[in-house]
A and B are shown apart, each in its own frame.
Chain A
Amino acid sequence: MGAYVLRRILQAIPLLVMIGVMTFLLIRALGNPLEELRNDPRVSEEEFFRISSIRGYNDPLPLQFVNWVIGDDWMLRDIDGDGVGDVYGENRGIIRGDFGESDRLNKPAAEVIGSKLPNTLLLGVSAYVVTIVFALMLGIFTALRQYSVLDNIVTAVSFVLFSMPIFLIALLAVYIFAVQFRLAEITIFGNEIQLPYFPVQGMQSLPGRPNAGTLTDRLWHMVLPVTCLAAISIAGYSRYIRASMLDVLNSDYIRTARSKGLPERRITFIHALKNASLPLVTLVGLDLPFVLGGAVVTEQIFGWDGIGLLFITSLGTLDTDVLVLLVLMIALAVVIFQLLTDLFYAVLDPRVRYA
């Protein structure tokens, strides 16, 4: 086992190097992020050259990459355009924990991403938990009642949800539960009732409102985005669980369990579910790290101040250091989770050998 883990970690290293090179070149190739400054009348040509030079954007791409990795505080930078180095660089490089600066916010890139990460995790992990719980319930239920009316309805609905772009679900949800519910006035037994409607924007009420920032206020703001994110994944996951449950339920050892006279409930939830959830472990392990990337579209629609929104803003202003770190963080998480999934699977399934 130890040798297997070590070998897998060693195998991941060239992959990580490749991911690093690809990410950096892909994003730096988009051009000089400071190009906007050229249109600013307050910034002279010399000033522009000086800033670009200090940030390293005047160097050829391969040198930029080297400096990004090992830093540029060892080389003299030419800041007045005479071809002679004048001052040492300021970047210490990623191997010394310096992930660069955000050009937009003048803050370390790691700090910018770190400040948005909790928001994205809150949204993504909640949606993921909701997904797993509902998908398990639906998947098991439809597998036990294969081809029943309810199974067919669930199948049809998941096909439709699966084919929907998430923004359509989000827009529909907002339109129905926020806009129409707010307008609707329902009369029951002569009493006019205002339907409860959900907030559309942000993670909490604006400061100054009576309950702004309280736990209930925050939860209330999470309802719509979490539901929209979960709806689409539930569609896929429940189908998957249904298929693997059906597979297991038709196997010999389940028949043996039945012939022993075990209660059906015990067979379903202990004997069958245990084996049927093995493939689910793989699916979760491969999908979960992508939560870090935030839900770009959902965060955009609901004004959720997370990684997805940060990504779109940074891409619009070409905030390269933030972009590189962001993509690198996700890719690293993917590689680590892949490794963990394989190890976890080897522990769970005695048939897997560490060959």
Chain B
Amino acid sequence: MATATKNPGYVVNLGEAKKEADSPLKIAVRRFFKHRMAVTGLFLLAFIFLYITVGTLFFSESYANSPSSVRTDYFQAPSERFILGTDQVGRDVLARTIYGGQISLMIAVTSITIAISLGTLIGLVSGYTVGTRYSWIDAILMRIVEALLSFPTLILLLILSQSFARSTATINLLGRELSATVLAIVAVIGLTGWMGLSRIVRSLVLSLKEQEFVVSARALGASDIRIIFAHILPNCIAPIVVSATLGIGGAILTEAYLSFLGFGVQQPTATWGNILERARDDIDRYWWLWMAPGFLITMTVLAINFIGDGLRDALDPRSTK
């Protein structure tokens, strides 16, 4: 554990005062790239990105999503023609993991963007209103957070997804025909993933707003909005970045759980989760249906967890590495 007596790294020793101090960002970047696990994570993630982008050069999306006309193509074990085998309607699992990966990652990133924005905003408002005449806002928001945290996440997600679980509507997104459930899943994951961060941000704001730089900003006549967004928010960035990173890994898992239970993105749009939906019933026979997507999910989440861990160490000002 770092102790207060150690030099935190960005404090310049008197002896070397002539040398210019590195910016905190530069220090963080340097620390991040020294973190062996984080760099491994970056490489893994780069490989996944290559897989889902370069892969599209070999297969078209309609090939991945439309059932085969030949019945003998159904449930084919991996062979030279289908490297990762085929699913219950003869679709190529390799092609589906490529396009499914894009959808899974897109869902994870957008839903976590929603969750992070909500969590940050609610944490800022809640923490800032403590001790003012608007403290009832904080009381209400924190009771809502407590109530939401009392529900098991998966059960809450399943209830919210129930109403559109069998929807067959489609939407057109960036020229691609997708199941409308993609948007619904994004909303559901985004709306249930903000509570933890809002508590972290709130407690940070509570300590930050009593510090001298905020008090002097207020004395200079800065408005509340300016104090919140220009002075307090930049000091909350580290935990926000870390929980956004780890959140993306969590969202990939969440999407997979929902799809696995049949409450996620609906066919024919592929995601890593719903490729293995059928595996639930036929574990012993169709192993290729769950091995490839399962492996890809684990590898991606692992990479993201590594990066999150590295970011946490790199952004921690007490760290001396």
Query: When the two chains form the complex, which single residue of B150, B301, B304 contacts A19, counting CB atoms closer than 8 Å?
Result: B150
Report the separation of the CA atoms of residues A315 and B161 in the bound assembly, to the nearest whole angstrom.
10
Q: Which residues of A contact B280 (CB under 8 A)?
A: 167, 300-301
Do B305 and A159 touch across chains, with their CB atoms under 8 A apart? Answer: yes
Q: Which residues of A contact B249 (CB under 8 A)?
A: 163
A34 at the interface (CB under 8 A from B): no
Q: Which residues of B contact A167 (CB under 8 A)?
A: 256-257, 260, 276, 279-280, 290, 294
Per-residue contact bits, chain B 129-157, to A (CB 8 Å; 1 contact, 0 not): 00000000000000110111111101100
Do B297 and A19 touch across chains, with their CB atoms under 8 A apart? Answer: no
Distance (Å) between the CB of A97 and the closest chain B CB?
A: 22
Distance (Å) between the CB of A300 and the closest chain B CB?
A: 7
Report the separation of the CA atoms of residues A26 and B260 in the bound assembly, to the nearest whole angstrom.
23
Do B297 and A27 touch across chains, with their CB atoms under 8 A apart? Answer: no
Do A31 and B163 touch across chains, with their CB atoms under 8 A apart? Answer: yes
Do B253 and A175 touch across chains, with their CB atoms under 8 A apart? Answer: no
A196 at the interface (CB under 8 A from B): no
B306 at the interface (CB under 8 A from A): yes
Per-residue contact bits, chain B 249-274, to A (CB 8 Å; 1 contact, 0 not): 10001001100110000000000000
* Interface of A (DSSP majority class): helix
Report the separation of the CA atoms of residues A23 and B260 in the bound assembly, to the nearest whole angstrom.
24
B162 at the interface (CB under 8 A from A): yes
A334 at the interface (CB under 8 A from B): yes
Per-residue contact bits, chain A 220-237, to B (CB 8 Å; 1 contact, 0 not): 000000000000000000
Q: Which residues of B contact A15 (CB under 8 A)?
A: 143, 146-147, 150
Q: Which residues of B contact A172 (CB under 8 A)?
A: 294
Query: Which of A1-9, A68-76, A289-297, A345-353 makes up part of the contact surface?
Result: A289-297
Distance (Å) between the CB of B186 and the closest chain A CB?
A: 19
Do A165 and B147 touch across chains, with their CB atoms under 8 A apart? Answer: no
Report the separation of the CA atoms of residues A88 and B56 in the bound assembly, to the nearest whole angstrom.
64
Q: Which residues of A contact B287 (CB under 8 A)?
A: 175
Q: Which residues of A contact B257 (CB under 8 A)?
A: 165, 167, 297
Do B261 and A179 touch across chains, with their CB atoms under 8 A apart? Answer: no
Q: How large is the interface on A (under 10, 10 to 19, 20 to 34, 35 or more residues)?
A: 35 or more
Q: Which residues of B contact A296 (CB under 8 A)?
A: 154-155, 158, 261
| Also in contact, A26 and B298, with CB within 8 A (given A18-B143, A300-B261) | no
Q: Which residues of A contact B306 (CB under 8 A)?
A: 159
A174 at the interface (CB under 8 A from B): yes
Do A178 and B294 touch across chains, with their CB atoms under 8 A apart? Answer: no
B284 at the interface (CB under 8 A from A): yes
Query: When the two chains form the complex, which single residue of A19, A30, A330 contacts B159, counting CB atoms closer than 8 Å?
Result: A30
Report the separation of the CA atoms of residues A171 and B160 in the bound assembly, to the nearest whole angstrom.
26
Q: Which residues of B contact A163 (CB under 8 A)?
A: 249, 298, 301-302, 304-305
Report the separation of the CA atoms of residues A19 and B147 in the bound assembly, to the nearest whole angstrom.
5
Do A179 and B260 touch across chains, with their CB atoms under 8 A apart? Answer: no
Do B298 and A174 touch across chains, with their CB atoms under 8 A apart? Answer: no
A331 at the interface (CB under 8 A from B): yes
A247 at the interface (CB under 8 A from B): yes
Do B283 and A175 touch across chains, with their CB atoms under 8 A apart? Answer: yes
Distance (Å) between the CB of B153 and the closest chain A CB?
A: 9
Do B158 and A311 touch across chains, with their CB atoms under 8 A apart? Answer: yes
B70 at the interface (CB under 8 A from A): no
Do B159 and A168 touch across chains, with their CB atoms under 8 A apart? Answer: no
Q: Which residues of B contact A26 (CB under 8 A)?
A: 159-160
Do A159 and B302 touch across chains, with their CB atoms under 8 A apart? Answer: yes
Among A200-246, those with CB < 8 Å from B are 200
A256 at the interface (CB under 8 A from B): no
Do A171 and B305 touch across chains, with their CB atoms under 8 A apart? Answer: no
Report the separation of the CA atoms of residues A19 and B159 in the bound assembly, to the nearest whole angstrom.
15
- Of B149, B152, B298, B304, the most chain A CB neighbours within 10 A belong to B152
Q: Which residues of B contact A175 (CB under 8 A)?
A: 283-284, 287
Do A171 and B290 touch across chains, with their CB atoms under 8 A apart? Answer: yes
B14 at the interface (CB under 8 A from A): no
Contact sample, A vs B, 7 pairs, CB 8 Å cutoff: A30-B163, A159-B306, A168-B290, A168-B297, A296-B261, A327-B159, A330-B150
Other CB < 8 Å A-B pairs besides A30-B162, A175-B284, A247-B1, 17 of them? A14-B143, A15-B150, A31-B163, A164-B298, A167-B279, A167-B294, A171-B276, A171-B279, A174-B283, A175-B283, A179-B284, A200-B284, A293-B155, A300-B261, A315-B162, A334-B149, A335-B150
Interface residues of B (CB under 8 A from A): 1, 143-144, 146-152, 154-155, 158-160, 162-163, 249, 253, 256-257, 260-261, 276, 279-280, 283-284, 287, 290, 294, 297-298, 301-302, 304-306
Interface residues of A (CB under 8 A from B): 14-15, 18-19, 22-23, 26-27, 30-31, 159-160, 162-165, 167-168, 171-172, 174-175, 178-179, 200, 247, 250, 290, 293, 296-297, 300-301, 311-312, 315, 318, 323, 327, 330-331, 334-335
